[in-house]
Amino acid sequence: MSHIIASGQLGPLGHMQPTRQHGWFAIAVLVLAACSSMAGAEQRGALEITGGIHLAPPAQWQVGERTRNSVELVKVAPSDAKAILARTLITTENRASPEEAVQRLAEIAAEQPQAPALLTIGGWPAIERKITASLPRTGSNDQTPAPPPSVVTSTVAIAAGATIVRFETTLMQGADPRLLDELLGRVRQLDFETKGDPKQAQRALDQVRQVMRKRLEAAPPPPPAPTAPHGS
């Protein structure tokens, strides 16, 4: 019978003791494993938003300017790198407690008259809203009136523990609406190292719903739309 014996030194009780070469070899293995893990994350395109929260952006979305608590994603036209089709600003806010983060989530939900969708992402309470905003006209042409240009904007905010993660996305006029749908799909699949409790998230969303309703009820009604003058 053949035996495979690892190289080393015998200790005083006859036990095999690792040599210095074994120590360096173990360190090298750990370093290579870490590098391989990092390389795998880069190949998958994982973007770290903040500690323990990662986003896999859609293909051909570029990482733009980054600060301590924000990062920008940009989608440009394939034929013109200066033509921006969509832009997303991701920001994080660290609140004093999870309860305060839920309160902040309710404030974001009530920023617009349109009620957002309430959902969970990664087990955490979240809101999602999509609106179409008209842009100011440039010049005038009374003979051929046309509807003003518009852009589609979306807001997704998540209360992950005591941290608010917010996505503000603008889809430029004429851009393919599927760009926004694709990004929102990735946002709904955010990777959290610490998952939330769905039951607690539903209770938090009930609080968001109550605060949002009170704020919207207290808001003044929008001004009436101007009416066109009647001809004589």
**Residue 148 has what pLDDT?**
65
CATH topology of domain 47-136+149-218: Protein Transport Mog1p; Chain A (3.40.1000)
**Residue 159 has what pLDDT?**
98
Number of neighbours of residue 45 by Cβ within 10 angstroms: 15
What is the C-alpha separation between 193 and 58, in angstroms, rounded?
20
For the chain, the average pLDDT equals 80
CA distances from 181 to 29, 58, 86, 170, 188 (A): 42, 10, 11, 12, 11
Where in the chain are the domains?
47-136+149-218
User: Among residues 133, 131, 128, 132, which one has the least CA distance to residue 183?
Assistant: 128
Chain centre to alpha carbon of residue 157: 8
Q: Which residue has the tokens 């013109």?
A: 80
Counting every residue written for the chain, the total comes to: 232
**Residue 215 has what pLDDT?**
76
What is the C-alpha separation between 22 and 70, in angstroms, rounded?
44
Determine whether 190 is exposed, middle or buried from the number of CB atoms within 10 Å of its CB (0-12, 13-18, 19+). Answer: buried
Residues 163-197 pLDDT 10s = 999 999 999 988 999 999 999 999 999 999 999 99
3-state secondary structure of 105: helix
Report whether pLDDT(4) > 50.
no
Mean pLDDT over 14-40 rounds to: 45
**Residue 221 has what pLDDT?**
66
Mean pLDDT over 44-68 rounds to: 91
Q: Helix 198-218 to helix 98-109 angle, to the nearest 10 degrees?
A: 40
Q: How confident is the model at residue 147 (pLDDT cuts 50, 70, 90)?
A: low
Report the largest interatomic distance among the alpha carbons of the chain, rounded to a whole angstrom.
Answer: 114
3-state secondary structure of 187: helix
% pLDDT > 90, the chain: 56
What is the DSSP code string of 112-166? SSSPPEEEEETTEEEEEEEEEEEPPP-S--SSS--PPPEEEEEEEEEEETTEEEE
The pTM score is 0.72
